Structure 1
Amino acid sequence: MFPEFPQELVDEVIDHLWDDVTALRACSLSCSTWLPTSRTHLFRQVDLRDAAACARFTKLLEASPVLVQYIRKLSIDAHHFSYDLSSLRNGDSTWLPLVPPLLGALPRVTELEMTSLNWRTLQLDPKHTELFYSMLGNVKRLALVNVHFESSSDVLNILSAAKLVTELHLDRIYWNCWSWPMPDVLSETEEMTHCGYLQRIVLRSGSPPNAITDWLLATGSMLDLREVQVHWRERDSTKALGALVRASGPRLERLYLELTNGVATQAAANGDLDLAHLTGLRAVYFDGLVLPDCCEWITSMTAQLHSDRLEMIEVSLLARWQDDLRAIDWVQLDKTLAHERFACVTLIFKVNLAIYNANNQDDAGDIVRSALPGFRGTLVVKYT
């Protein structure tokens, strides 16, 4: 006879199997007391990628309605714009109108991902639109990746409904026309609701990103962000980028900026980016910079870092020739980095050299290492 273990101990053991589907299935069939904890992990995430998966999931819920209480994450991939998967791009989309009713039937979903989706294929009628927006009110992590909308109001309606979201990913979001949100989804007490709990945001290129930043900043108050990842391509919208960074405030801990040369130089010329007030920063990433055009931008942005909590700076550079590294004002950069606030910082230079016989990784590394004698932190040079 096996000894009886406290249920708390059994639950903890099963929790350690969270990523072992075979073991979890075996546990779920062992006894009734093991079933709830096993289901917590087995059904935490549901991926719908085609008609067959949607049909299986629908039948499963019909047979066991109790499973809805275990589902926390729902991922939908329609493959409408999956250009690397041409065999799936023109696949069956008849299952997508079944998604809105499913979303409305999953009240405990807190993570929602929608990928490669043409929004109109959901065929949202008034009833299912209301259910969908109601469900969004519980979502804390929202990711829209390569989703094409009819109107910008569709996007802003979604953001307004997801008022509890703490993590927001908007990656290649497009719309055919600009319009304001529909009145029937707005709050009764205010013109538009905003993501007041938002702590992490990822913005990648798509339809005019200033539409998103304008919405986020519409209240005129500081955001409570801890992490900002921005992949910015629009050189005529650098003011919107600067406004987002400024509104992030002293609570921001991680900042990732991937900018093209045109955006970086335009932002520098206009004075749109100001990092000096981000006094809570722990890690900063500068990416997408091509030498020799961004030399001045690198030194000026580094000089704006005044956080006493800073632990890491990572600079990713693309250089055609190794001698392009000499174009950086290393004297000024070394003067900045010699300050005591950088004494405990790890500085990482990721140098991406073009493949030419004249380029030598070791020589490139020597250029960087010898140029910063005053820096007292940890210097790391990587090559790709």
Structure 2
Amino acid sequence: MTASSNRNCGLPQELCEDILDSLWDDQEALLACSLACRVWIPTTRAHLFRFVRLHDERDCIRLQELLRLSASAATNVAGYFSELSIKFGGKSHDARSVEERMAHWIPQLLPTLQSITSLEISCADWGYDFLTEDARTCLMTFSSIITTLRLSYVTFPTTDDLTGLIHAYPRLSKLQLVHCRADPPVFEPLTLARLPSDHGMTTTQITELRASSFADMLVGLLSSPSRVSLRRLHWETPVLNAGDTLVRQILLEDCESSLEYLKLYFFHPQELIDLDLSKYPQLTTLHLCPHRMFSARKSVLCSPIPDFLSRITSVRMREIVLSVQGTFGSDTGYLEFLDWGKLDCVLASLRRRLPALVVSIQLEFSLERTADDPFSRVVGQVTERLPVALSAGLPVQVTYRDGRRSHDSANAPAYTRVAWLAFDSFPSGKHLLSA
């Protein structure tokens, strides 16, 4: 199929590309489309060769062969690569030998991947000898257009080593730290914000951060020449001491004028008490996740939520999500983790000020199975607890997920149901009590 025949079929090229984009994860369909029409080849190749995985030596050998074939055919598939995932030894019994082999391949392969914009490094020890200096240098210099960096289960000798890696990518805007760790940094918590800038690094503008590592991993980033000005923050980091509290405080202060999305896992009620939402005028989405625990402490943990929400002043606020997990032996008391009457009044007030606001309550419990549908019980009881907000027309979505899997099969998916309690644009105009 040629370009002229593509035009004769009646579909504009832009529409064809949109259709091909919708098939981004269907390898067979993309391969068929690439053979059907020459004009579609750039779009299909962009999806077929978008992701590169180097998780063992076999992946490295396959990539080397692909690059060799591409060079001989002058197809330049490397130009389509945009996402790279590198996994080192991890916890396997031969982790050291795996990391040694990966360190051998990295300087050979990565210089050919200059179109990579997203890099993921997992299960690595940045300080061990078998991750050679050549390999580390190559990881930090092979692409100058990286905008996204994901680090998971990576150990650094110090937080300065992490900071150096981050600042090696001048266009970096999205950073994810999952279970990364380093030796405790030597710093005085009360002077963290005033540490001198002596790194000599280029400025990096981080606009999106997911942190689920210890807070000390962010010390070097916050005290370096560039300040973090976030639009999106996913905070899953426990606040264990005064130093952690200060790191969190500085991070949130730096993004008061820019933050639009906040997903906050909190481990102590004081974390909500200390955070004033009135300082975030650009906030559009707030997702609260109290740390998973048994019912005995959940009421204490969640008690500040109504007052916390009452401090919202952003006229841009569109969505509030509350995700709660718990384990209960009976079906009584599982919703008594906060003052629903107070929450009802706060949500009704927000509804009057923010007519576009939508609230989502996501519950994951392990309840006793009875003859009636647990989903109906949950929906009914949440409805009873929010009469003022619902009568004000606030759209409230309830998601219930049974934390226990089916007894029939250990691999069966967990029971999950969704319902809208109020949704003014729904054709019937009624409050819904079922999905």
Per-residue deviation at 1:146? 1.4
1:232 corresponds to which of 210, 234, 237: 237
Per-residue deviation at 1:20? 3.6
Does the 8 Å contact 1:222/1:249 carry over to 2? no
2:112 corresponds to which of 78, 91, 105: 105
- 3-state secondary structure, aligned to 1:249: coil
Q: Which digits, 9 at most, give the CA deviation of each residue in 1:162-212, with x for residues without a partner?
A: 2211221111112246489xxxxxxx997333421x22211113xx32341
1:353 corresponds to which of 365, 377, 386: 365
Identity, % of aligned pairs? 24
C-alpha distance 332-47 of structure 1, shift in aligned 2 (>3 A): same
Q: How does 1:201-350 map to 2 (within 5 A)?
A: 201-205=209-213, 208-212=214-218, 215-216=221-222, 218-219=224-225, 223=229, 225-236=230-241, 237-260=244-267, 264-268=268-272, 271-289=273-291, 290=293, 291-319=298-326, 320=328, 322-323=332-333, 325-326=335-336, 328-339=338-349, 340-350=352-362
> How many angstroms apart in 2 are the aligned matches of 1:18 and 1:77?
24
Q: In the alignment, what sits opposite 1:370?
A: 384
C-alpha distance 3-258 of structure 1, shift in aligned 2 (>3 A): closer
Per-residue deviation at 1:143? 0.7
2:63 corresponds to which of 57, 65, 68: 57
Which shows bigger deviation, 373-382 or 32-41?
32-41
Does the 8 Å contact 2:156/2:181 carry over to 1? yes
Q: In the alignment, what sits opposite 1:193?
A: 202
| Structure 1, unpaired ranges of 5+ | 181-187
Q: In the alignment, what sits opposite 1:184?
A: none
Per-residue deviation at 1:346? 1.9
Check if 1:9 corresponds to 2:17: no
Q: In the alignment, what sits opposite 1:48?
A: 54
1:70 corresponds to which of 77, 80, 83: 80
Does the 8 Å contact 2:34/2:40 carry over to 1? yes
- 3-state secondary structure, aligned to 2:53: strand
Does the 8 Å contact 1:111/1:141 carry over to 2? yes
1:232 partner amino acid: T
C-alpha distance 71-333 of structure 1, shift in aligned 2 (>3 A): same
Does the 8 Å contact 1:104/1:132 carry over to 2? no
Does the 8 Å contact 1:238/1:266 carry over to 2? no
Check if 1:167 corresponds to 2:177: no
> How many angstroms apart in 2 are the aligned matches of 1:19 and 1:362?
36
2:396 partner amino acid: L
Per-residue deviation at 1:108? 1.3
Q: In the alignment, what sits opposite 2:413?
A: none
Q: Number of residues paired by the alignment?
A: 364
Does the 8 Å contact 1:151/1:175 carry over to 2? yes
> How many angstroms apart in 2 are the aligned matches of 1:276 and 1:301?
10
Per-residue deviation at 1:302? 1.1
2:388 partner amino acid: G
Per-residue deviation at 1:356? 4.2
Q: TM-score, normalised by structure 1?
A: 0.80
Which shows bigger deviation, 31-40 or 156-165?
31-40
C-alpha distance 336-113 of structure 1, shift in aligned 2 (>3 A): same
RMSD of the TM alignment (CA)?
A: 3.6
2:305 partner amino acid: I
Which shows bigger deviation, 319-328 or 279-288?
319-328
Check if 1:379 corresponds to 2:396: yes
> How many angstroms apart in 1 are the aligned matches of 2:336 and 2:168?
51
- 3-state secondary structure, aligned to 1:323: coil
Per-residue deviation at 1:161? 1.0
Does the 8 Å contact 1:96/1:122 carry over to 2? no
Does the 8 Å contact 1:61/1:68 carry over to 2? yes
- 3-state secondary structure, aligned to 1:58: helix
Q: In the alignment, what sits opposite 1:146?
A: 153
Q: TM-score, normalised by structure 2?
A: 0.71
